[in-house]
Structure 1
């Protein structure tokens, strides 16, 4: 039905953490290389990617899987801001901050355990939060240690019991203390949500990862999963050598062109099976019937230059391999198709969507990378009304001449010395503003991204035959020409 094009569920929720776990579990694309994140044998795992690639969705999906496999374990899903709010980290050394993070994490578990045994905290009992200590936890069962602490507080009347007899609470505490099998799974998202490239921010965020590593080694039955942006991690690992020991627990999350196709197809098929179960063949397979599934929403192939390509290939390029961006683009194009009385999305609808879509992308670019680059807007704006393509040396000269003319100096990654044209070009490549043209169909994206080859555009390997393009998602909003 044409009205399906207006449904927010057709391409899934753009925020992975907001999607219902049950629905996410139906369309989430599992990849063998990501399965380590779900393993009950791994106490500590981090996931790293750019914004919009799906870190929150992965955490959400992992929580769902582990809840199904380990229904009696305790799960705590939080934003990092909930931990930061529990104490003041100012003027602390790295060791003190590491200890502070550990205290915050254990405090949060204390609160959750209190909920499980139906304890209500009054103002006085917040001393439990403020004085949470790690001493005595090492080598012990986590729930037993925390239950002992709560038991002591109950005996000293610092915690009030809600509508349960003391016998019931004692039994609850006994069960928790005696159980060696129950585990705590802590899922922490957005540790770098408000990260800026300052000394204070770097030490606060970097010590979080070290604290997690210490805790899972010292505390039995505690398991942690957390996320971080790729660009933030790059800054942190150069700043804090202790993070070298965390690298082994890091999963790099990324999606190929084929993956994007499967993700879109699974979302579309999930929606139609929910909304039109009698109209969609139950035997549709993501692997065998992908074209048929796309034809439920798209009117055939998408025109790309002088070629026609499958819808997911064009969407993958325009979304830079980020599922959130892909969902946004598809929703804008779907609304345009509906407004023009079309039953499916065509090339013209995607082209029309690029103006609105480009505004989202340029805003995201500034939000995601301004902490790495002072005057990032000025650096991007020199390209406005300019060309889409540059050979290597034309690109370098254009950057240098434009900034000299405007008398602007750009600083990267907290350096006190202004960046030169080579450093700025490589930075634009690093953040995905420019990509290397690649016309071979089987190569990733039709473009080479920084993730594919981070060593391009360095002074030692400059090649003037390379053709650098402003990424297609930015072209309309910057009014770029052929």
Structure 2
């Protein structure tokens, strides 16, 4: 039985919100922290994460779990740009928090209208005024908005139905039940709320207002469950610009994965492919672990060389180049699969991975540039100072390199503080902290594990040195 290594479905869909739900169900990595996301008693939860770590997949999974547990709830799933207020209007400029709350309530109104087959095309129907929002305090959001819609819809038998062209009959009764049902809830899930974000004072103020609006609504009304996904770099900028967001910290969950977890997700994706799309060659009757291992070995060689005389599991090898991002591991595997197929290989071997690393690494460098150019316009040229230099270095060597090769040569490019730029590189994942442990395995830290490194002038590094992560080395001409 032949297997087409170039079948994109082997490594899942890079967009978690587009993934086949059957596939996502099989490879989704459940964690205890996610239980709070699934529990509607936790009215506000925000996931922050880097691109490619699974924010969209978590929202999709939350929707799936919540629908099974609460089938009568109303679900509103949207992208940030779909609910972004018009900040060219003076009233929205003057009160951005209210503008966001009106936009959120209007979106819920349209969802309620859709559930009773009433088209919410009239702005007067969907627009919720400030006084109305304030009157919701302490009420159930579904009940309050449904009651509001009832007052705006023509009553059956009143003779106004034809004039409004709204097909209301049993639907009106349904809306009445919504209005009287204090147990109904709305799940409001927002992905890519930062999709159009630009690092300007106005943009930061407007987007910060969104999170304040959500927190206020979660406290003000009952029956509203908010789930929001935001990029780590954007949250960092917002948090630094608006002290009011410190009240949101308790609701924020930082999503990141270990190399072991990324490796497991890769194996699970391959297994899901066989279970869903190629069941005729899946292993019947085997336990989960044995089945997944067998599925994985149909695509990859089991071991890859590591160092001079070692071998490691191939999924671990791949994860080491993925920097905790499952999407990156899929990107690497997909490119290697095409290379393996062109060579006539029936499985992806280490030379196939290695041959695509230069292009893969260059793309990851572009990804980081795009992610952090909002914080510093010249992050790309800042990364260039490491090209052809060293893989690892001390703090003083790092600061000296930044000063000599970036600050002194390009004074017009902004910040002249080497420590601030070094911290940006650490925060952005361009460098990792590393400490040798008496000849044993080196201890490595990413920014999320110790964000205070490179901030205190008294102890900049706490004894850590620095290194360029493996995924960036080929792009910076530092080998593999």
Q: Which residue of 1 aligns with 2:312?
A: 309
Give the superposition deviation at 1:89.
5.6
1:390-411, Cα deviation, whole Å (9 max, x unpaired): 3332222111111255233444
Aligned twin of 2:75: 75
CA–CA separation in structure 2 for the residues paired with 1:138 and 1:89: 28
- Partner of 2:82: helix, strand, or coil? helix
How many residue pairs match? The answer is 469
Query: 2:453 is matched with which residue?
Result: 456
Q: 1:289-343 CA deviation, whole Å, 9 max, x = no partner?
A: 6644432221122223333222222222211001111111111111111111111
Preserved CA contact (<8 Å) 2:302 2:314: yes
Corresponding residue of 2:35: 35
- Superposition map of 1:56-205 within 5 A: 56-84=56-84, 86-88=85-87, 96-122=95-121, 125-132=122-129, 133-155=132-154, 160-162=164-166, 164=167, 166-205=168-207
- Alpha carbons 1:254, 1:321 under 8 Å: kept: yes
Conserved? CA contact 1:2–1:338, under 8 Å: no
**CA spacing shift, 1:462–1:143, aligned 2, 3 Å:** closer
Contact 1:6 1:334 in 2 (8 A): yes
| Matched residue, 1:216 | 218
Tell me the distance in 1 between the aligned counterparts of 2:412 and 2:312: 42
Distance in 1, Cα, partners of 2:94 & 2:112: 27
Residue of structure 1 equivalent to 2:387: 384
Q: 2:301·2:314 contact (CA, 8 Å) conserved in 1? A: no
Equivalence for 2:270 = 268
Tell me whether 421-430 or 457-466 shows the greater mean CA deviation: 457-466
Q: Residue 435 of structure 2 contacts residue 463 of structure 2 at CA under 8 Å; is this kept in 1?
A: no
TM-score (normalizing by structure 1) = 0.89
Deviation at 1:18? 1.2
Q: How does the TM-score come out when normalised to structure 2? A: 0.90
How far has the Cα of 1:375 moved from its partner? 1.5
Task: Give me the whole-angstrom Cα distance separating, in 1, the residues matched to 2:82 and 2:276.
Answer: 35
In 2, the alpha carbon distance for the partners of 1:74 and 1:94 equals 30
Structure 2 counterpart SS, 1:119: coil
Structure 2 unpaired stretches of 5+: none
1:431-465 alpha-carbon deviations (Å, 9 max, x no partner)? 1111234678xx99974222223233444335698
For the Cα contact (< 8 Å) 2:259–2:323, is it kept in 1?
no
Question: Structure 1 residue 248: deviation in Å?
Answer: 1.2
Contact 2:110–2:119 under 8 Å retained in 1: no
Cα distance between partner residues in 2 of 1:149 and 1:14: 41
Deviation at 1:224, TM superposition (A): 0.7
**Structure 1 stretch displaced more, 267-276 or 452-461:** 452-461
- Structure 1 distance, partners of 2:451, 2:288, is 32
- In structure 2, C-alpha distance between the alignment counterparts of 1:285 and 1:444, rounded to whole Å: 33
User: Aligned with 1:364: secondary structure?
Assistant: helix
Between the aligned partners of 2:90 and 2:399, the Cα distance in structure 1 is 42
Residues 48 and 228 in structure 1, CA contact (< 8 A), matched pair in contact too: yes
> Deviations 1:335-368 (Å, cap 9, x if unpaired)?
1111111111111111112122123212211111
Does residue 346 of structure 1 match 2:335? no
Match for residue 51 of structure 2? 51
Which whole-Å CA distance do the structure 2 matches of 1:130 and 1:183 have between them? 20
What does the per-residue CA deviation read over 1:379-428, in whole Å, with 9 as the maximum and x for residues that have no partner? Answer: 122333433333332222111111255233444xxxxxx24222212211
User: Which residue of structure 1 aligns with residue 475 of structure 2?
Assistant: 477
How big is the alpha-carbon RMSD for the aligned residues of Structure 1 and Structure 2?
A: 2.7
Aligned to 1:415: none
Matches within 5 A, 1:4-15: 4-15=4-15
Change in 2 beyond 3 A, CA 1:30/1:465:
closer
**Structure-to-structure mapping, 1:429-444, within 5 angstroms:** 429-437=426-434
Deviation at 1:2, TM superposition (A): 5.2
Distance 1:288 1:445, change over 3 A: farther
